[in-house]
Amino acid sequence: AQTVTQSQPEMSVQEAETVTLSCTYDTSESDYYLFWYKQPPSRQMILVIRQEAYKQQNATENRFSVNFQKAAKSFSLKISDSQLGDAAMYFCAYRGSGGSNYKLTFGKGTLLTVNP
């Protein structure tokens, strides 16, 4: 079974600084998809960024970028120029492309605090 591990339960960053959230996963599949979701106190789960495993290029969305290391099964999220609105719980998630493609497997989350 696939597992997703987020080793940092909590992180903090100063406004305008850069922070990196870690995520590792375990899978025997060669093709899969990885996601970072953000869940602010309002509880709405919002997609931040996604990465297809077959793509070597790291995904980028404005201030958010990932460092995808397929061999190491690592998928970290970098937030540049952090803003107060970035404060939230961040979840790393995995979805396979084969028989397990129906569900997302989530990590336990990292609570990010942004200090003014």
Partner 1 sequence: KAGVTQTPRYLIKTRGQQVTLSCSPISGHRSVSWYQQTPGQGLQFLFEYFSETQRNKGNFPGRFSGRQFSNSRSEMNVSTLELGDSALYLCASRTDISGRNTQYFGPGTRLTVL
Decide if 112 contacts 62 (C-beta within 8 A): no
Q: Is 41 in the site for partner 1 (CB under 8 A)?
A: no
- Return the SS3 of 85: helix
Per CB under 8 A, the segment of 14-22, 40-48, 65-73, 76-84 that binds partner 1 is 40-48
> Binding string, 92-111, against partner 1, x = CB under 8 A?
---xxxx--xxxxxxxxx--
Decide if 48 contacts 61 (C-beta within 8 A): yes
Residue type, 86: D
Q: What is the gyration radius of the CA atoms in the chain, in angstroms?
A: 14
Decide whether 74 or 97 has the Cβ nearer to partner 1.
97
Instruction: State the residues that interact with partner 1 by CB under 8 A.
Output: 31, 33, 35, 37, 42-47, 50, 52, 91, 95-98, 101-109
